[in-house]
Amino acid sequence: MSFFSFNRFGNRLTFLFSLIFILLLLGISFFVSRVIETKMLSQVEASLLAKAKLVENQIPTSDTPSEGVQDKVKHIATQTQSRITVIDISGKVIADSMRDLSQVKEMDNHRWRPEVRSAIEGRVGSSIRFSQTLQMKMFYVAVPMFKGGDVERVLRITLGLDKLNEILSSVRKPILIGLIFGVFVVLVMGFTVGASIRKRVEEMTLAATRYAKGDLSQKIMVQGSDELNVLADTMNKMAHILTKRISEIENERSKLSAILDNMTEGVIAVNSQRRLVLMNQSAKNIFGISQSDILAKPLLEIVKNQLIDQIVEKSIAQSKTISKEIEMNYPENKILKANAVGMQEVGREVSSILVIYDVTELRRLEMVRSEFVANVSHELKTPLTSIKGFIETLLGGALEDKEQSRKFLQMMDEDTKRLARLIDDILKLSNIESKEDDLNLKHLNLKQLVSSVVEILEPQSKEKKISIRNQIPDIQVQADEDKLRQVFLNLIDNAIKFNSEGGFVTLDINEIPGYYEISITDTGLGIPSEATSRVFERFFRVDKARSREMGGTGLGLSIVKHIVENHGGSVSCNSSIGEGATFYFTLPK
Ligand code: ADP
């Protein structure tokens, strides 16, 4: 866009105004020179008329051309510096100051010359025309000369207009100079004013372009107090209001996205075609989505779950809330509770909002609980059924047989003890579970603690001729004394129980970064390696009958696991059949 481009608003404005001004100046100049010309002509007419009146009486009264008349007329013409012609009422020329007598006689009849015709009719006539005789533009004035009320002759006075033209051109010259000067002034002013308007309009155009691109930060600085300034002010105010509105909207949006992204529930919003309008971080985590350009994509393509797509479709179609629990296998096994809220209002961007709760853990806990209840009932039922059977047998007559009765009562005693142990272990477990953070931490000497446990278990170890090697050095750990004793009691008890006669139990300690790792190794029958990860489950026993026979409840290792985890450590087991077993647990230093 060049400076003189006609497309520019300012240039067009300048051009238009200059054109108008120039036309106006031309018009005025033309008008002024016309007025002056008319004025001058009427002055010339008046002076010619005055001259005619003045010389009228000096014209000799002759009806035919003659030398005498000619001389007189020539004399008067020289005095008045004009051409004088005398014509009779028939139009015949009687005398002419510019001609010789012979020429006069041959002159045309002048009757039809306009000024002569008027004069013959008794009025003063005038006319401007080009004279063939004199080869120039002439001003003719003819006056009637009366005799006794009738027109007798016509006196015509003629003036060459070359003089008049001289005067007129001397008048036109300053007008022309004025005109040129005026045009120059108009052009200069036009460009100056135009440039200023152009500058201001350009500033506003630039600002409007900036606004359109979203940059509302700069104000428009326009000088002056005219409409352009009012427009600039309005645009500045508009930008200010827009900035405020935009920041309000952005505030709201950031609040909303902060809430949405910090929710544990997954939130997805879709439009009427089930294309994504919004998806929060939790929803992305649930469906394992890492890509960022998901907006406007079909819901099914993103979540890859037919059921979810179906309930959203239904919620939109029925315009109500549809809830369903969904099992998901991809990207991992999960149980989700999906609530789709359908909104079928025309023109809304969002047609359904899907809220997803990950209930996998909840359902797992529910399952564990119900399994536990079933297991507990089962474990309690076995000794109870057995006790009931003995009582029935005794009541049925066996009571009479003393030997038999004693045997039955001994077995009932065993079962009762088992029941008591079971209930005891269940209570311990529930106690640990319900008071997870309730640890009475103290500095303990680990070696001493282990020795005291070994002492408690001496009868059992002696019975099976098992040697216990406590290789734990004199170190201090921070733990709940009763609970840590329970851990050693259960682990060493198992190591004795499942050991072979004359075997060994070795207790050792290892330092790993941040932890002590304590190991209890026995030389017993071991655990199948595939079962080592399951031994810490409640009621899990490799050999149910054998464990029961040995008085086990199947809860010992569960209790160990819980206590160790409450202390911030972890448990593990390393074993295979016939190789003995090593149980490990860690304690933070
Ligand atoms: P239990 O009361 O039956 O001993 P635990 O929870 O203490 O219950 O142990 C669960 C099961 O793990 C046992 O029944 C047994 O099959 C196996 N087990 C535990 N410790 C040992 C070990 N040292 N050697 C072999 N098997 C073991």
Q: Confirm or reject: Cβ of 581 under 6 Å from ligand 1.
A: yes
Mean pLDDT over each residue of the chain, to the nearest integer: 88
Band (5; pLDDT cuts 50, 70, 90): low
Give the pLDDT score at 2.
46
What mean pLDDT do residues 234-255 have?
91
Counting from 1 in the atom list of ligand 1, the atom nearest the Cα of 551 is: 2
Say how many Å lie between the CA of residue 543 and the centre of ligand 1: 9
Whose C-alpha lies nearest to ligand 1, atom 11? 541
Q: In a 3-state reduction of DSSP, which class is residue 229?
A: helix
Share of the chain above pLDDT 90, in %: 50
Q: Confirm or reject: Cβ of 541 under 6 Å from ligand 1.
A: yes
Band (22; pLDDT cuts 50, 70, 90): confident
pLDDT at 346 exceeding the cut of 90: no
Whose C-alpha lies nearest to ligand 1, atom 23? 495
Band (301; pLDDT cuts 50, 70, 90): very high
Q: In a 3-state reduction of DSSP, which class is residue 307?
A: helix
To test the pocket of ligand 1, the residue of 496, 547, 562, 563 to mutate (highest count of ligand atoms within 8 Å of its CB) is 547
pTM: 0.53
Whose C-alpha lies nearest to ligand 1, atom 13? 541
Say how many Å lie between the CA of residue 222 and the centre of ligand 1: 91
pLDDT at 522 exceeding the cut of 90: yes
Residues in the chain, overall count: 589
Q: Are the C-beta atoms of residues 518 and 572 closer than 8 Å to each other?
A: no
Say how many Å lie between the CA of residue 569 and the centre of ligand 1: 20
pLDDT at 1 exceeding the cut of 60: no
Q: Confirm or reject: Cβ of 535 under 6 Å from ligand 1.
A: yes
- In tens, the pLDDT along 433-481 reads 887 668 899 999 999 999 999 999 999 999 999 999 999 999 999 999 9
- In tens, the pLDDT along 112-143 reads 999 999 999 999 999 988 877 778 888 899 99
CA pair distance 212, 242, nearest whole angstrom: 12
- In tens, the pLDDT along 274-291 reads 999 999 999 999 999 998
CA pair distance 183, 556, nearest whole angstrom: 114
Say how many Å lie between the CA of residue 190 and the centre of ligand 1: 107
- In tens, the pLDDT along 139-192 reads 899 999 888 888 889 999 988 877 777 777 777 788 788 878 888 887 888 778
Counting from 1 in the atom list of ligand 1, the atom nearest the Cα of 526 is: 25
Band (588; pLDDT cuts 50, 70, 90): very high
Q: Are the C-beta atoms of residues 11 and 194 closer than 8 Å to each other?
A: yes
CA pair distance 300, 304, nearest whole angstrom: 5
Q: Confirm or reject: Cβ of 175 under 6 Å from ligand 1.
A: no
Band (6; pLDDT cuts 50, 70, 90): low
Counting from 1 in the atom list of ligand 1, the atom nearest the Cα of 541 is: 14
Q: Confirm or reject: Cβ of 308 under 6 Å from ligand 1.
A: no
